[in-house]
Each structure stands twice: as structure tokens, then as C-alpha cells.
Amino acid sequence: MQVGARYTRPPESARAVDAPPPVYEWYRKYHPLPPGKNLYLEFVNTSTRFGDAIGAAEVVRTIATAGGKAQIFPETSVSEAMFRDRNIVLIGMPENSPSIDRLLSNGSFRVLYDEKLQKEIIVGPTASYVTQIDASGTILSYGLVTALRGQGVQGAQHRIMIFSGSHSSCTVGATEFMSSPAHLRDFRDRLRKQGHSSFPPAYQMVVRCRADRVVPLSEEYETHVVLK
């Protein structure tokens, strides 16, 4: 839902509801609210988190630098059939993306919402990774990079890359990690020590990120697993 400030109540067709008092308190921290304007919560299904948008821009920049082309679609405009015989990049959280939720369901690492902590966490085979915020406001979060075999007749020639994580900032950090030649060389060396001559067709990697709000300050390798 998005917050709209209006002098007149939106029509019923706009699917808006009156905002409760806490929304007014939150809104005034960031925006002036002129006398006579009221706040309404409007239903939307095309909005995206700012961190996901920055991450998408990083992916497109990297593809363009390599001489490739990319198209960006909101998931509401995408059908699963479009995944066939294509290289696909998905960015977002499982709770907001049925496609990501389905594709990550059988992975060794998953992004889940912890009801006790009230936070998104990455749950792995031996450890969980939780977003933390220190006294200065710096965010320590974790991105999850997942590479899978493509789908369709030519699936073996294509890949599906998923960027998700415990916080919007780590989605950006994960895309920056995978766009960095230095980081990829380090990751390739780790794979070689495990007996892999190149990047395997399916794997998951956790990336540790430090960020100021949604802007990454640094990103580092945390751990990975090769999928069968």
C-alpha cells in the first residue's frame, strides 16, 4: 500500500482507505502535511523497494558493459512460461514474489520471516543470518545469491539468477558483489579448492553487507553451497 495526501477523498474505484493516526505521525517525519489534506492508504501491486530498484540498475549496467541487452518487467506482467529458454534475473523477497518463493523452496538457503524477531532472515543448513543495526545506524545485512539451471528445452544453456536477502540494502550489495571482477575471482578460487574448475550450474552464496540505509558501504563473501 502507498500513502497519498488528498484534499478530497479518493473515489471508490481508487481502492483507498482512511489512514490511521500512526500513519500521520510517520508521514510528518518525512513530508509536510498542509491543513485540510488527509492521508489515505491506496492499494498498489506495481511498487518496488528502493533497494531492489538499485539492484536492478546494477544488473542492467553489468549486462550492458558486457555487450548484452536486458528487459525489466514487474512480476505481475510475467508468466512462468517466459522463463523458458532465457537467462533470467529475479530480484526481491519470497513473500512478495511467488516465483522467487517457488524457486528457493528447495534450496539449501532460504529467506524467511522470523515471527519472534519480526525480521527477514536467511536460514541455512548450519546457521541463520539476521539483519543488525548498530548505534550509529549502520546496517549489517545478508544477501542471498542463487544460481539455478535454466528452464525449457535449452535450459542447460541458460541460467536463472536470484538476488534476495534479509534487507533491501543487501539485495544491492549482492548485485554489486556479482558485478565485481575481484569478488568473482575470489569466489572462483574458493570453488576451485572444492574441485570445481569453473562456476557450477547451480549454487547459493551468502554475502555479508554493511550499508547506510539502503546504500551499501561494503560487501564480503560469507559462505556458499553447491547445489545438485
Q: What is the pLDDT of residues 74-130, one digit of tens each?
A: 888 888 888 999 999 999 999 888 999 999 998 999 999 889 988 889 999 999 999
The residues spanned by each domain of the chain are 2-42, 50-226
* Digit-coded pLDDT (tens) for 3-55: 999 999 998 888 899 999 999 999 999 999 999 999 999 988 878 888 899 99
Return d(Cα 70, Cα 60) in angstroms, integer: 6
Q: For 61, phi and psi rounded to 5 degrees? A: -60, -45
* Residues in CB range of 174: below 8 A, 6 or more apart: 55, 143, 144, 145, 163, 164, 165, 207, 209, 219
The string of pLDDT tens digits covering residues 129-146 is 998 888 887 889 999 999
C-alpha dist (Å) from residue 46 to 28, 56, 169, 219: 25, 15, 20, 29
Instruction: Residue 170: name the closest of 211, 137, 135, 202 by CA.
Output: 211
pTM of the model: 0.88
Per-residue model confidence (pLDDT) at position 208: 95
What integer pLDDT is reported at residue 117 of this predicted model? 87
User: In 3D, which of 211, 210, 206 has the Cα closest to residue 221?
Assistant: 206
- What pLDDT shows up at residue 206? 97
Amino acid type, 72: I
On the question of pLDDT at 155 being above 80, the answer is no
User: In the predicted model, what is the mean pLDDT of residues 48-73?
Assistant: 92
Average pLDDT value for the chain: 91
